[in-house]
A and B are shown apart, each in its own frame.
Chain A
């Protein structure tokens, strides 16, 4: 279990995330939702140990060592790099790469590419593939780290519908099989409602509420967070969000 307590973080003086508190369980997916600028990315970066922060981050009751335990995938999928897809994925195992590349690292990277249907692109340079294909390679790279906690910043943003499903199903399966904690910043509320076990709502850098999708994603709260009117339909206990229009503020 990932436990975040009173976490505050920001950039050069400006505090973006203010005393955030939430938990995320192993084997499940947790969504981080909120409007643009609500602090989702900053919160993920802070948990990944990439920003100076105050507060406590523990994994299974022990203080987290982000370099060892956490894999973080940034939102940006651009890369003006001539590294091949395979090389990119292998870099996830940076610790075991020396002058030589161990055979099992190549195999594992190859298997991950295969799993995402990218095997035939293994030798293609990053700048020659689509943004979505790069995003899949970066996700594979994060999985290569074999983390306890996987933090994904909008993992489905650059993907078509089919690959959105593929990514979320792959991540859900890995979470179950490996006992992984997965926290994802998400904009697609219907995907969040359908795939995640917990939803953490952020507004102005603070956690507004957290709980199961059905508990947290109410029409009133979404109006409060995003300034829109929505209709929530529950399907098998999971909320599906229909956008009606902007809220009258």
Chain B
């Protein structure tokens, strides 16, 4: 009385061919997104109060003397670092968002869920309020304060999570409590601050690429690149985590250790991104969802793709922030949420649960 498996319509060989095609297709999509990022970078540099041609933008990148000095200055000193910072921050937040959604098993998670950015805002507000200044590189005072506060928030959540076995639930609860704590402290400082100081604080919190320059861009890029390098060998374990803690553990993954490590990396990526340019909302939430629809759940593709989509969204928001009001620049942090929300809504309505 033996029951044979019903005759398959596809054999093992076809399955392999199908898998190989899928991997190739995903690789091509990631590559395409990379090309789109380069195109968006050029478009971003082209956009601004001063009207420049493609030639004027591309030429000074290679030879500053080939165009007018004013044009070269606009491109090299202002637009290029700002456009590159937009990509860096977008990549950092996009990847951090994907990692966060994976380790918390929650589609609503973003780099901001656990309060790092609220803490960064608090740190910046303290620095602005007290007017302290580093003896060397005074312009890095506020970013450093923001970074330290974000790290502090990370340590609080990390410590509490560690005590209770680092389950996703404990992490979310500890994180949201930390988020509210730092938001309240931030409000307190705003309440106490004199009007001129308050203006500075609020402007910092908006998030703006205007803060980017050749001093802070390399630092932010190095922090984010370092964070991403730390996880390149964890992608398979992260993929296993998408089947739940029990199953991942049964496959030999040390779930607690992996979750805490990724948490630390997300804290680093987020702090590195927001410390220099302020709070940029929504990129970290939306980018992973778009990436997931394009390349699926395999984290080898999902995390890099989320970084690229994050960079693309930021470049798009940067272009929009410079085009909306003629001659002026709206802080990018305002624009990302404005384009992010309708975008997420359309995903929710069309995608259903198919992509999560």
CB of A106 within 8 A of CB of B16, answer yes
CB of B242 within 8 A of CB of A122, answer no
A135 contacts B by Cβ under 8 Å: no
A101 contacts B by Cβ under 8 Å: yes
* A169 CB, min distance to chain B CBs, angstroms: 6
User: Which residue from A110, A117, A128, A138 sits with its C-beta under 8 Å from B15?
Assistant: A110
* A15 CB, min distance to chain B CBs, angstroms: 18
- By a CB distance below 8 angstroms, the chain B residues around A120 are 8-10
Binary per-residue interface labels of chain B (1-18) against chain A in the complex, 1 for a CB within 8 Å, 0 otherwise: 111011111111111101
Interface residues of B in 190-236 (CB under 8 A from A): 232-233, 235-236
- By a CB distance below 8 angstroms, the chain A residues around B240 are 91, 94
User: Which residue from B12, B247, B353 sits with its C-beta under 8 Å from A74?
Assistant: B247
CB of A81 within 8 A of CB of B242, answer yes
CB of B22 within 8 A of CB of A88, answer no
Binds B, one of A65-73, A184-192, A209-217: A65-73
Bound form: Cα–Cα A88–B243 in Å: 8
- By a CB distance below 8 angstroms, the chain A residues around B253 are 94
User: Which residue from A79, A91, A95 sits with its C-beta under 8 Å from B239?
Assistant: A91
Question: What secondary structure prevails in chain B residues at the interface with A?
Answer: loop
Binary per-residue interface labels of chain A (151-171) against chain B in the complex, 1 for a CB within 8 Å, 0 otherwise: 000000000001001100100
User: Which residue from A88, A94, A113 sits with its C-beta under 8 Å from B237?
Assistant: A94
Between-chain CB contacts (< 8 Å), 9 pairs: A79-B244, A81-B242, A82-B242, A106-B15, A114-B12, A119-B11, A120-B9, A127-B354, A166-B3
Residues of B near any A CB (own CB < 8 A):
1-3, 5-16, 18-20, 22-23, 105, 232-233, 235-237, 239-240, 242-244, 246-247, 249-253, 292, 296-298, 300, 353-356
A178 contacts B by Cβ under 8 Å: no
Question: What secondary structure prevails in chain A residues at the interface with B?
Answer: helix
* A170 CB, min distance to chain B CBs, angstroms: 8
Interface residues of A in 133-147 (CB under 8 A from B): 138, 141-142, 145
The chain B residue with its CB closest to the CB of A116 is B5
CB of B15 within 8 A of CB of A127, answer no
Bound form: Cα–Cα A101–B300 in Å: 11
* B290 CB, min distance to chain A CBs, angstroms: 14
A247 contacts B by Cβ under 8 Å: no
- By a CB distance below 8 angstroms, the chain A residues around B249 are 50
A95-B252, A98-B236, A166-B3 are known contacts; what are 5 more A-B pairs with Cβ within 8 Å?
A74-B250, A81-B297, A82-B297, A92-B251, A119-B10
* A111 CB, min distance to chain B CBs, angstroms: 5
User: Which residue from A82, A106, A118, A122 sits with its C-beta under 8 Å from B355?
Assistant: A82
CB of B356 within 8 A of CB of A80, answer yes
- By a CB distance below 8 angstroms, the chain A residues around B7 are 117
CB of A119 within 8 A of CB of B243, answer no
User: Which residue from B5, B247, B297 sits with its C-beta under 8 Å from A166?
Assistant: B5
Bound form: Cα–Cα A141–B252 in Å: 13
CB of A83 within 8 A of CB of B296, answer yes
CB of B19 within 8 A of CB of A83, answer no
User: Which residue from B16, B105, B356 sits with its C-beta under 8 Å from A107?
Assistant: B16
Bound form: Cα–Cα A58–B233 in Å: 32
Interface residues of A in 49-70 (CB under 8 A from B): 50, 67
User: Which residue from B8, B242, B243, B250 sits with its C-beta under 8 Å from A72?
Assistant: B250
Bound form: Cα–Cα A126–B251 in Å: 17
Bound form: Cα–Cα A141–B9 in Å: 21
A84 contacts B by Cβ under 8 Å: yes
A86 contacts B by Cβ under 8 Å: yes
